[in-house]
């Protein structure tokens, strides 16, 4: 999608600090980190949110999800623990309409889901 921020990051039209990349997914540091370690893990394919998922995305989503602990290990937070957040739609506060996992770690977190 031409005007999608994260598609433009995938296409290198906007720079980012990449931590993991393969043919299907990209992991990069969040520009406004909410914890000492805050990485976004996205499918390279444009999917607006969980609400746009179809069964055609099953393999891609399994691949994406399986890479959460792989990225966490690379970031050094696999054993200390981390939180995975997905925002979907207006009430969640989703700002970028390209599906993404937030991977947050590097400090203890409260069980406050806002």
- Interface positions with Zn ion (CB under 5 A): 1, 4, 6-7, 46, 98
Per CB under 6 A, the list member of 2, 23, 91, 95 interacting with ligand 5GP is 95
Residue 98 binds: one of Zn ion, ligand 5GP, none (C-beta under 5 to 8 A by kind): Zn ion
From residue 19 to residue 58, the character string flagging contacts with ligand 5GP as x (rule: CB under 6 A) and all else as - is: ---------xxxxx--------------------------
Return all residues near 61 (Cβ < 8 A) that are at least 6 apart.
43, 53
Contact 20, 67 (CB under 8 A): yes
Backbone angles phi, psi at 38, to 5 degrees: -145, 105
User: Is position 96 an interface residue for ligand 5GP (rule: CB under 6 A)?
Assistant: yes
* CA–CA gap between residue 30 and residue 17 (Å, rounded): 8
Catalytic residues: 100
């Amino acid at each position: 999608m031409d005007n999608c921020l994260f598609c433009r990051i995938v296409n290198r039209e906007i720079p980012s600090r990449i931590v993991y990349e393969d043919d299907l997914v990209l992991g990069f540091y969040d520009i406004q980190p909410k914890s000492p370690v805050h990485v976004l893990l996205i499918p390279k394919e444009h999917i607006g949110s969980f609400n746009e998922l179809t069964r055609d995305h099953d393999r891609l989503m399994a691949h994406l999800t399986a890479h959460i602990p792989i990225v966490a290990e690379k970031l050094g937070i696999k054993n200390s623990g981390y939180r995975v957040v997905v925002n979907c739609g207006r009430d969640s506060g989703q700002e970028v309409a390209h599906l993404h996992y937030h991977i947050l770690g590097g400090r203890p977190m409260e069980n406050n889901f806002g």
